[in-house]
Structure 1
Amino acid sequence: MMKESPFTDLPQNDVELTPDKVKDEKEGGPTFHCDLCDAEIVYTIAQAFLPGLSTACVDNTTGDVFQSPGSAAAEIRKEMVEYLMQRSETFVAESVVLDDGLEVQASDHPYDIIAYLIDEFATTKRNLFSRVSEWLLSDKREDKTDDFSQEIEINGFWSIDKREAIVQTLLKNVDLKNEFHCDMKFYSADELAQHVPTCKYRSMTCQNEGCYAKYSISQMENHDSVCPYKMIPCEQKC
């Protein structure tokens, strides 16, 4: 007999949570923004959303006889997106003050910043039962979190395209060096249309047979140099 999943009450719908696009505040300034971002970093960050949401849901409902991770997922997902948007707008990447008062240099890489904010959000969702060290360090917690993360992905509760749309907005807030998104602005739609085909952040798929990796055109040489599917000519010319 098939064992019933403890997460069967996970909603089936993948609601729209894409944030509003940022508007240019300068009157008379360029109002057409290029929204292209580095495809690889966007995908990588989007993948980190699922374990973050899973952890928040599991910790928030541990010991609760009335709620399960699945029943709380929709509301916590909404809170998570709002939290990331707000914190990404105010987060200062230069330093992080630790609990013991020591100040250390923080990474300014967008993935590290957003991953930190995801962990920070998950921590805020711990209830009284999940705050004890025995639970936080337990294998049971890790197993439940992993299982629920897989359930979310299989269920289609939060599709990759919806997550990537959110990441693109977050990148504009935390990518202070403009290394992973295009910050070009234009005065007309025609100017923007002319820019997009030549933008270094336009997405492409690896041309090596068997590889389906997506990345920005600017990363083509870097990917090609490490692609495991690349055919390398024999040095003996055989």
Structure 2
Amino acid sequence: MDGTTGDPFRSPSTVAVDLRRDMVDYITQRSDSFIADALIESEANQDVPGVEVPDDPFDTVSIFMDDFASTKRNIIGHVSGWLLTDSRNDKIDDFVQEMEATKFWPLERREAVAELLLKNINLKTRFHCPEKYENEERLEDHKAQCSFRHCANDGCRARVSVRCVKDHDAACVYKLLQCEQGYDKRLLRRDMDRHCITIYPMRPIKCPFGCDSSFPDRDLERHCTEFLQPHLLMVLKTIHKKGRSEQDLKDLAQKLEKFDGDGKLAKALDARPLTNVVKDLEAKMKGG
């Protein structure tokens, strides 16, 4: 929508429906003549180095899509007034959600278009099975030994060539994996990063006070308790930048810890809250 010509007198959904229909018609027609066009182009460019017909269907369809988009851009780059409003991004997000909710282009229909394109442009049948059978029985027999099969991971709808199974399995987001950090939990590959970064209690973290330590996330409180004096010294050096010797600050750190009857110092898990607690305790010590 953003890079194609819209109509200020039509709704975005109407424009999108027309664009989808035009796009499918265009790329389907291009795919119908792809083999003949590829042979002609190959013969014409056989003496030109570096000019090759794309072997990967993804690259071929990408060319079709780019060509289609170029036919929808007019000279002055006019887009619909809907896209030029101040709340453009919000309206685009709302529009995308509306299309998903109303099943603007269901997965089944997209798969049907993809299958047709693949059959039309996959010259060497590396990415689809060309076999056809007249009855279901023979078809079922073939499926058991077909080189193209559905991914075995629950939730994945991919159909993969047997020779590409290992590559797909190594990247499939629906693959169940053991936690990379050794935690006793199995989860989908797509959830692994979030698990290790935000959920996993054994994820390694660095000391928030800047000392040269790293430890599991779950041990942060214990670390802050065990290394309270070094952390206090770091904070005191920041608060009292001048006029205090190293030994004076060490003595002050010990006094603060003794004066802290509620244990607030050890409960501060970052430099800012610890600084606030220290300032509060110093004020009370002076006032007392």
TM-score, normalising length: structure 2: 0.46
| Residues 46-96 of structure 1: CA deviation (Å, up to 9, x unaligned) | xxxxxxxx45xx6221xx431243222222222211111110011245769
**Unpaired segments ≥5 residues, structure 1:** 1-53, 133-137
Larger Rg: 2
3-state SS, counterpart of residue 55 of structure 2: coil
Deviates more, 1:113-122 or 1:212-221: 212-221
Change (3 A) 1:216 1:76: closer
Residue 167 of structure 2: which of 222, 230, 234 is its match? 222
Rounded to whole Å, the distance in 2 between the matches of 1:82 and 1:68 is 22
Structure 1's 121 and 145: CA in aligned 2 closer, same or farther, altered over 3 A? farther
AA aligned to 1:183 is P
Q: Residues of 1 paired with 2:5 and 2:143: CA distance?
A: 43
Aligned-partner Cα distance in 2 for 1:149–1:93: 36
Alpha-carbon separation, structure 2, partners of 1:225 and 1:103: 32
Distance across 2 between alignment mates of 1:184 and 1:71: 39
Identity of aligned residues (%): 33
| Counterpart position of 1:160 | 107
Per-residue displacement from partner, 1:20-48 (whole Å, max 9, x unpaired)?
A: xxxxxxxxxxxxxxxxxxxxxxxxxxxxx
Larger helix fraction of residues: 2
Q: Unaligned stretches of 5+ in structure 2?
A: 183-288
Please report how far the alpha carbon of residue 163 of structure 1 lies from its aligned counterpart in structure 2 after TM superposition: 0.6
Give yes or no for contact 2:5–2:78 (8 Å, CA) kept in 1.
Answer: no
Q: Residues 119 and 143 from structure 1, CA distance in 2 versus in 1: closer, same or farther, beyond 3 angstroms?
A: farther
* Matched AA of 1:111: F
User: Does residue 80 of structure 2 align to residue 125 of structure 1?
Assistant: no
Residues in 2 aligned to 1:146 and 1:154: alpha-carbon distance in whole angstroms: 14
Say which SS state the counterpart of residue 118 (structure 2) adopts: helix
Whether the aligned pair in 2 keeps the contact of 1:200 and 1:216 (CA below 8 Å) is no
Q: 1:67 aligns with which of 2, 7, 10?
A: 10
Residue of structure 1 equivalent to 2:21: 78
Q: How many residues align?
A: 164
For residues 90 and 38 of structure 2, what CA distance do their matches in structure 1 show? 32
- CA distance in 2 between counterparts of 1:226 and 1:66 reads 45
Is 1:196 the counterpart of 2:143 in the alignment? Answer: yes
Q: Bigger relative contact order, structure 1 or 2, given CA contacts below 8 A and separation 6+?
A: 1
